[in-house]
Amino acid sequence: MRKRLLYMIMTVAVLFCAMPVAGAEQELDMEDLVAQHVVLMDYDSGRILLEKSATEQTYPASTTKLMTALLAAEALDLSAVVTISETAADVELDSSNLGFKPGEQLTVEELLYALLVYSANDAANALAEAVSGDIPSFVALMNEKASEWGLSGTHFCNPHGYHDPNHYITAKDLAVLMRRVVQNQTVLKVLSTPVYEMPPTNLQPDKRTLINTNSMITTRREMGYLYEPVKAGKTGYTSDAGHCLAAYAEKDGKRLISVVLNSKMEDGKNESFEDTEQLLRYGFNTYSPQTVVKVSEIVESAPVKWSEAGQAALLSETTLSVMLSDAEMEKGVEKAVALTEELKAPLSKGDVVGTVEYRMDGVPLGTVSLTVAEDVPFSFMTMAGHVCRVVFTNPFFWIGVAALLVLWIVLRAMKRRRRRRTRFNRNNYRARRRY
C-alpha cells in the first residue's frame, strides 16, 4: 500500500514539474513553423518581435486585398453605388469570385465585405475602378502608396493577388501594411466579420451568404482553427504563394500582428492557421507591456548657458510602454538624447528642448519628447563670468594684450626720445644766442 501511494505521489510530482508555468518564457524554434516567411509584430510600437526570412520577396496571394480595401475605404463613400463593368467581372475562372454580372450594382460597403470576407477578385476589380477609373491606374496607386509607406520589398501588378511573377511582397512589409489596416476602423470591422449576409441586388434576387475565409474567427467554413484572441485576418492562397495569413490578435491588453507566408497543407491541416496560433501563443506568453519611461520622469540633466544653476532637469513628455520579454528587461534598454540646440537661459517650465530615443540592441523602441522641469532664469552675473572666462582663457587675448603692451612701451620710448631731442635742441639754441 505504501509503495503504491509513493508511486502515485512521484507520478503526480513528475507531471506537475512537466507542466509549463503560466506566463513563463518558452523558446519557439522558428524552423518548427511550416511557413517560409514569418513575422510577429507588436501592434502598438510596430516593433518586430520575431522573424524568419522576413525581408525575402515572396508572393502575397489574396493578402494583396488588404491594400485594395484600405485605399478604397479611404477614398470612397461606403454608401456610394458601384456598377460592375465588363472588365471588373472578367476574372480568371480558377480564382475566387462571386460571379458579379456586368451592370450589377452594389454599394462600396457591400463590395468591401465581398473583398475581405469572401475574398472575391471581381470585387477587387470593381473597387479599383471606383477609386481610380481603371485597374492599371489603381495598381499604380497601390505601388505609389507602398513606396510612400516604406514597403520597399513590395510590388503589385493587380488589385487581388492572382499570381504574377512580378507581384510580390515581404513578410515585414505585409506586417506594416496590416498594422495600417487595423488602424482603419472601417476595414477592421469588415475584416473581423465571421459571416455576412449580402442583400439582393438589381441582378441577383437572392441574398448571398459570405463566410469568412479566416477560420481562426469562425467555424462555419472549417473546424479546429478557432483561436479567440484573433480578431481579424486576411487569408491568401495560390499554388505559387502557398497558404498565407496576416492576422491581428488581442489578449490581456496586448496587441499583436502575425504574418505567415508560403505555408502548406500537411496531414489535412492548414498550417498557416497552426503557425499563426503558435506564433501568437508564444508572443502572448513571452512578451508583456513594460514601461520604459513614465510621464514627467527625469531622463537627463543638461547644461544651460547663462543660468546660475548651470543645469536643467529634462523630463519625459509622455509615457512609453513597449512589449518586452523579461530577458530583454534584464538586459536593459539603451537611450540616446538629442537636443534641438544648445540650451541657453532663460527657459520656461514645459519647454520642449529635444527628444530621447529608446533602443533594444540598436533597434528603436520609441521616441519621447523632453521638456524642461522648472523655469531657468537668465543670470547676468553668470553670463559676465562666462564671458570673462572665455576671454581670459583665450590665448589670442593674451597675445593681443602683450602686443599692446609692447606697442605702449615702444611709443613711450619714442615719446621720451622725442622729448630729449626737443630739450637738447632748445638748449643748443639758447647757448648760441648767448654767444
Model confidence pLDDT, tens digit, residues 353-375: 999 999 988 888 999 999 999 99
The CA distance from 417 to 415, in Å, is 5
Q: Residue 42 — very low, low, confident or very high, per pLDDT cuts 50/70/90?
A: very high
How high is the pLDDT of residue 11?
A: 46
Q: Where in the chain are the domains?
A: 25-287, 294-380
* Phi, psi (rounded to 5 degrees) for 12: -65, -40
The single-letter code of the amino acid at 245 is L
Any idea which of 11-20, 25-34, 154-163, 274-283 has the lowest mean pLDDT? 11-20
Between residues 135 and 403, which one has the greater pLDDT? 135
DSSP state of 150: T
Close Cβ partners of 427 (under 8 Å, ≥ 6 residues apart): none
Where do the DSSP E strands lie in 56-198?
81-83, 105-107, 195-198
Q: Residue 26 — very low, low, confident or very high, per pLDDT cuts 50/70/90?
A: low
**Average pLDDT taken over every residue of the chain:** 89
Q: Residue 381 — very low, low, confident or very high, per pLDDT cuts 50/70/90?
A: low
Q: Is the pLDDT of residue 6 over 80?
A: no
How high is the pLDDT of residue 396?
A: 74
How high is the pLDDT of residue 408?
A: 77
Q: Is the pLDDT of residue 386 over 80?
A: no
Q: The domain at 25-287 falls in which architecture?
A: 3-Layer(aba) Sandwich (3.40)
> Is 301 in contact with 314 (CB distance < 8 Å)?
yes
Distance of alpha carbon 363 from the chain centroid? 11
Q: Residue 382 — very low, low, confident or very high, per pLDDT cuts 50/70/90?
A: low
How high is the pLDDT of residue 385?
A: 53
The CA distance from 34 to 142, in Å, is 29
How high is the pLDDT of residue 23?
A: 43
Q: Residue 143 — very low, low, confident or very high, per pLDDT cuts 50/70/90?
A: very high
pLDDT per residue over 71-106, tens digit each? 999 999 999 999 999 999 999 999 999 999 999 999
Percentage of the chain exceeding pLDDT 90? 71
How high is the pLDDT of residue 150?
A: 97
How high is the pLDDT of residue 276?
A: 98
> Is 190 in contact with 95 (CB distance < 8 Å)?
no
If you compute the radius of gyration of the chain from its CA atoms, what whole number of angstroms results? 37
pLDDT per residue over 96-133, tens digit each? 999 999 999 999 999 999 999 999 999 999 999 999 99
How high is the pLDDT of residue 410?
A: 82
The CA distance from 398 to 196, in Å, is 87
The CA distance from 377 to 309, in Å, is 9
Q: Is the pLDDT of residue 230 over 60?
A: yes
The CA distance from 140 to 133, in Å, is 12
Which H/E stretch holds residue 385?
helix 380-392
How many Cβ atoms from other residues are within 10 Å of residue 233's Cβ? 29
The fourth-level CATH superfamily of domain 294-380 is D-Ala-D-Ala carboxypeptidase, C-terminal domain (2.60.410.10)
Which H/E stretch holds residue 390?
helix 380-392
How high is the pLDDT of residue 5?
A: 47
**What does the longest C-alpha to C-alpha distance in the chain come to?**
157
Range 110-120 burial, b when 16+ CB lie within 10 A, else e: bbbbbbbbbbb
Nearest to 162 by CA among 215, 119, 208: 119
Provide the whole-model pTM: 0.80
How high is the pLDDT of residue 135?
A: 98
**Which 3 state secondary structure label does DSSP give 77?**
coil
Any idea which of 185-194, 400-409, 420-429 has the lowest mean pLDDT? 420-429
> Is 77 in contact with 103 (CB distance < 8 Å)?
no
How high is the pLDDT of residue 414?
A: 81
pLDDT per residue over 288-339, tens digit each? 999 999 999 999 999 998 888 889 999 999 999 999 999 998 898 999 999 9
Q: Is the pLDDT of residue 187 over 50?
A: yes
How high is the pLDDT of residue 241?
A: 98
